[in-house]
Structure 1
Amino acid sequence: MRRESIEEQILKDQPVIKDKKEVCALCGSPLEQDEESGELRCPVCDTEEAP
């Protein structure tokens, strides 16, 4: 098993875009926009994702 570069580790923490809809980097659930703050939020993990 090869070692991952720092860039690859950083990319793992970024939200993944599938069909132009962002999904959670941790669980893969579609992100929902929070009505109050307008930030993207994962309904499953309940974490805020940076756009």
Structure 2
Amino acid sequence: YRDVDVIISMTHLPPKINKPKISGVPFITGNKIEDAKKELLRLLKN
């Protein structure tokens, strides 16, 4: 996980992982997927 820009995870990650995190739930369920996509793009652009 050290060489990644963002982490998409279905579970909570420990605080020691100091990377931007996005919930993977919207990508599985489709619920609030547009918000998740926007957040992912925002994080990748920065």
Does TM, normalized by the shorter one, top 0.5? Answer: no
TM-score (norm 1): 0.25
Name the larger-Rg structure: 1
TM-score (norm 2): 0.26
More helix by share: 2
More strand by share: 1
